[in-house]
Every structure is written in C-alpha cells, then in structure tokens.
Amino acid sequence: MVRSARHTVRAGAGLTAATLLLAACSGGETEPADGTGETGEAATEAGGTIVVSTFPFGVEEFQEAVFDPFTEETGIEVEVETGSNADRLSQLTLAGGDPGVDVVLISDYYAALGQEEGIFQEVTAEDVPAIDDIAEFATEDAYMGPAYSYQLNGTLYRTDELDAETAADWEIYGDDEYAGRVALPDISVTAGQLMVSGVADAYGDGPYDVETAFETLAGWAPNVLQFYTSSTEVTNLLTQGEIVAADALSGFATNLVAAGEPIAWTPPAEGRYMATNRAMVPEGAPNVEGAHAFIDYLLSAEAQTASAELVGDLPVNPEATVPTTIEDVVGDIAADPIAAGYATLDPTELVPTRAEWVDRFAREVSSS
C-alpha cells in the first residue's frame, strides 16, 4: 500500500520497489551477533512488531537479506516504511515525539540534522552489543546511532579512454582536453558534499575550506557537461560515451563493472572522503527493545555479509565477507577504508553551514 511517500509491508510479503544501482540498506544473519544468545533474548523480550523506516530502493534485496531472516530468527514482525531522507525526517519532525517508527536507516547528514532537532535517542553498546564489533569510524561520538554501511567517493571513468592514474587526478576536471566530457555531482547529493570536501582538502586548508573548493570548482565548471543529481544520470552519460569521467560514489560502478562495461572506479589521489548510513532510534519509538535487537542483528558479521552480497552495501563489521562484485570495484579499500586514506566528515561542521553552502554552490559553481 502506498500512501504519500511511504510504502508499508510486512516481512515475508512480496515487495515491488525498484532497485537502483546504489543500495543503501543492510543485511541479516542467522545467529546472535555476539555468540552469547543476547540478541535472541532481547528479541524474545521485545516481541511483537517493529517499524523500520528506510530508503526507497533495494527493498526487495533488503527483505531477502534482512527482514525475512530477522523475523525467522526472532519472531519479531517487521513493517517497512520508505521514502527519501528529507521526507522521512520531515515526517518524524511533524510526529512530535510520537513517530510510530522504531528504527530509521538514514544518511549521516540527515541523522545529524535529526539529532539537532532532538528527534533521535542514544544507542549504546549496552543496548546493542554488536557495536563493539564494528569499525571505529562506524561508532563516532558525533552520532547517536551506529553506521551500518558506508559510501566511498572517487572517480568513475571509461577504461577505453583513461587509465586509473589519470582518472584519480582532480586536475582531469579542469583539463581542456576533456572539456565537455566530464561530469560532477551537485552538492545536494551525497557525492557532492564529499567532492567539495575532497577538493577543499586537495587544494586548500582542509575539508571545510569551501572558499578554495568553490573557487576551484568554478574554474572547472566550463568543462563540466553536467552537474548531476542521480546515479541514473551519470551512469547513462558514461555508458553512452558522452563523458569519460565523473566524480561519483563507488556503488554506482558495481552493476556496470559486473556487466562487463568498459567502466571502472578509482579513489582520488588525495582528498578521500566517505559518507555513512546510520541506524537511528527515534525518541518515542514504540518498541525500543525490538529496535535494539534489529540493529544488533544488522551489525553482525553474517548480516553484513548478506547485505554486501545481496544489496551491495560496504560492510562496517571487519569480520564480514566482501563479495567479488564489490572487490572488483574498490579492491582492498573495503577491508579498511581508514587505512586506505578515507575519512568521514564532522557533522558539526556541515549542519550549521549546509543551507549556505548549497546556495553558494548554485550561484558560484553550477551556474558558472
């Protein structure tokens, strides 16, 4: 049943949501996360039903990887509501502490924005033991809920036109040789903020030096065919040969590489940043114990492995197995993105400045 931007189903029922190239959901397991049976005990105490609010894509895969096995393992029914980050956050704000939702799977910026508005409650390792098993970057103090997946920024490129070294150099976007044959993300999408911070770091004083970033990007703008706002836009430009390179998230390449397209992805030589997707519990959640059981399940090695295989998520649990479809795109980076030079952005730097930066990007960069 569809009502406004929300699509609600019970686990075990068929889903028909369309799957995009980049899924931002996570997976399920068949054993308790810490091997002690605590997940099962918590689930038994919680019982009943939980409502999970998530992204509107990859839902069928997410059901197979997470909802069905979670319900089978715990007996907890799962109802799913889907929508964009912005729409779902708005709904929680309007709910005024009575959200009717137990778990919110949401991008990090929107998680931080919700925290500023007092929408979310703290999730600790005492609540969710599996938090102790995941990567340190996934448990940053800046967020009230753990990351369950992440996204790497870099360059998608045509292998019949460029080599990896050329594609990894930010200068390709300002090189007149490729004028009209490159694309960049708009700042409104996840890759856009990561790109701005990457350029700020590579050419300025760090990831929040937007003066340098906007000046540099404005200089490149005449060479940019399009400032895209969706994965479909940029992948179509690449597969149709209209562009040779684009700053993009690594997940955009997974299906293309698996299909044998002459396309690859590479991290930038410098200025490497990543975004995370967080598992948050709203204030006023009706089944907090069930929410904690679900997140514990979501972060386990088996759940993370299933999510990586079926959904395409990059796992935050180091014990998870990374499938070849992901390794073919990012190589060893998935084993430890921090060791590979990637960093997350500080939400306290982004939330207060977001509106101003989006406005300035439109005026100073994309309209140049």
Tens-place pLDDT, residues 292-302: 999 999 999 99
Tens-place pLDDT, residues 168-195: 999 999 999 999 999 999 999 999 999 9
CB atoms within 10 A of CB 81: 20
- Tell me: pLDDT of 17 over 50: no
DSSP state of 313: P
Q: What angle do CA 182, 188, 191 make, to 5 degrees?
A: 55
3 state SS of 153: strand
- Tell me: pLDDT of 36 over 70: no
Tens-place pLDDT, residues 302-357: 999 999 999 999 999 999 999 999 999 999 999 999 999 999 999 999 999 999 99
Instruction: Please report the pLDDT score of residue 57 as a whole number.
Output: 86
Q: CA nearest 16: which of 55, 60, 47?
A: 60
Q: CA nearest 337: which of 249, 256, 247, 208?
A: 249
Q: In whole angstroms, what is the distance from residue 354 CA to residue 187 CA?
A: 10
Q: Where in the chain is the domain with CATH 3.40.190.10?
A: 2-150+275-334, 151-274+344-366
Instruction: Please report the pLDDT score of residue 368 as a whole number.
Output: 76
What is the chain's Cα-based Rg?
20
CB hemisphere CA count around 84 (13 angstroms): 8
- Tell me: pLDDT of 12 over 90: no
pLDDT band at 88 (very low <50, low <70, confident <90, very high): very high
Q: What angle do CA 276, 4, 283 make, to 5 degrees?
A: 50
Tens-place pLDDT, residues 189-216: 999 999 999 999 999 999 999 999 999 9
What does the block give as tokens for 20? 């995009």
CA distances (Å), origin 145, targets 138, 255, 281: 9, 30, 7
DSSP state of 322: P
Burial of 176 (0-12, 13-18, 19+ CB in 10 A): exposed
Tens-place pLDDT, residues 109-152: 999 999 999 999 999 999 999 999 999 999 999 999 999 999 99
Computed over every residue of the chain, the mean pLDDT equals 89
Q: In whole angstroms, what is the distance from residue 351 CA to residue 332 CA?
A: 32
Q: CA nearest 156: which of 185, 180, 176?
A: 185
> Taking the mean position of all CA atoms in its chain, how far away is CA 353?
21
> Taking the mean position of all CA atoms in its chain, how far away is CA 321?
19
Torsion-angle region of residue 352: left (phi > 0), alpha (psi -120 to 50) or beta? alpha
* pLDDT-above-90 percentage for the chain: 84
CATH placement of domain 2-150+275-334: 3.40.190.10
- Which fold would CATH assign to domain 151-274+344-366? D-Maltodextrin-Binding Protein; domain 2 (3.40.190)
- Tell me: pLDDT of 2 over 80: no
> Taking the mean position of all CA atoms in its chain, how far away is CA 295?
16
3 state SS of 358: helix
pLDDT band at 22 (very low <50, low <70, confident <90, very high): very low
Instruction: Please report the pLDDT score of residue 159 as a whole number.
Output: 98
DSSP state of 182: E
* pLDDT-above-70 percentage for the chain: 87
